């Protein structure tokens, strides 16, 4: 498989992860997350895989996730994705929604089941 095909696979995995979150398909979300996931939200909150899934199911609802200027660097079975993200979120206990904007670094690993995200680190943008 050539370099460009690998990049397209990783971008597709990210699209499927976002789609699954927005559509609350948590079985699909889980398939895109490595068991050793470390997820750092733009708020600074840190979750492992179990905590992240529980947060998505019980605390917040993802109404939209927009990505921009994504770059993927491939190192064998590891890919590092960087780019901007705007998430529209709603606390399940509230009616109003909020936007979380930031710059994200993700580490994806290729395994027997395809690409899964092992690390996500979001940073808020400077004003």
For range 36-60, the mean pLDDT = 95
The reported pLDDT for the residue numbered 95 is 92
Give percent of the chain above pLDDT 70: 98
The predicted pLDDT at position 101 comes to 92
Domains of the chain: 3-124 (3.10.450.50)
Work out the percent of the chain whose per-residue pLDDT is above 90. Answer: 91
The torsion angles phi and psi of 17, rounded to 5 degrees, stand at -65, -50
Average pLDDT over residues 11-39: 97
Average pLDDT score over the chain: 95
Residues 83-110 have a mean pLDDT of 95
From the list 107, 116, 118, 100, the residue with the least C-alpha distance to 41 is 100
**Would the pLDDT of 127 be above 80?**
no
Query: Are 85 and 122 in contact, with CB atoms under 8 Å apart?
Result: yes
The yes-or-no verdict on residue 126 having pLDDT over 90 is no
Q: The pTM is what?
A: 0.93
First to last CA, the chain: 41
Q: Is 14 exposed, middle or buried (0-12, 13-18, 19+ CB in 10 A)?
A: buried
C-alpha–C-alpha distance, residues 107 and 118, integer Å = 6
pLDDT at residue 1 in the model: 67
Distance between CA atoms of 21 and 54, rounded to whole angstroms?
A: 12
């Amino acid at each position: 498989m050539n370099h460009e095909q690998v990049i397209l696979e990783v971008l597709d995995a990210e699209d499927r992860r976002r789609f699954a979150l927005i559509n609350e398909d948590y079985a699909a979300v889980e398939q895109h997350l490595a068991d050793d996931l470390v997820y750092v939200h733009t708020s600074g909150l840190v979750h492992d895989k179990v905590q992240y899934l529980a947060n998505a199911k019980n605390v917040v609802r993802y109404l939209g996730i927009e990505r921009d200027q994504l770059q993927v660097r491939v190192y064998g079975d590891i890919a590092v994705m960087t780019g901007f993200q705007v998430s529209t979120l709603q606390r399940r206990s509230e009616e109003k929604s909020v936007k979380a904007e930031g710059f994200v670094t993700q580490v994806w690993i290729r395994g027997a089941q395809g690409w899964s995200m092992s690390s996500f680190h979001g940073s808020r943008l400077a004003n």
